[in-house]
Amino acid sequence: MRERLREFFGVYAPLIVGILVIVPAVNFLISPRAPAANPWFAIDPLAAAACSGMVIIVGLVLVLSTLGRWRKVRAARRQ
């Protein structure tokens, strides 16, 4: 049981977190923005794209590094 829990927290949990980080960032990037009634609360489209892009990069790094570790463990298990 302990090995399965370790596998979940080491492999699947970071994948899930990475995907959960990427999905709202993509949604924020592609969803149309309503114009703000107050100009102090307006979001610059370039700033929104930069912020979403950085969050997507962080999520991809998390997912790709976890996939690499998972492939390495799977290859070691086969031998």
The single-letter DSSP state of residue 10 is I
Are 60 and 26 spatial neighbours (Cβ–Cβ below 8 Å)?
no
- DSSP label of 11: I
Contacts of 65 (CB under 8 A, 6+ apart): 14
pLDDT in tens, 4-13: 788 778 878 8
Q: What is the pLDDT of residues 22-50, one digit of tens each?
A: 999 888 888 877 776 777 777 778 888 88
pLDDT in the model for residue 47: 83
Cβ pair 66, 7 in contact under 8 A: no
Return the pLDDT at 56. Answer: 92
How would residue 76 be classed by pLDDT, with cut points 50, 70 and 90?
Answer: confident
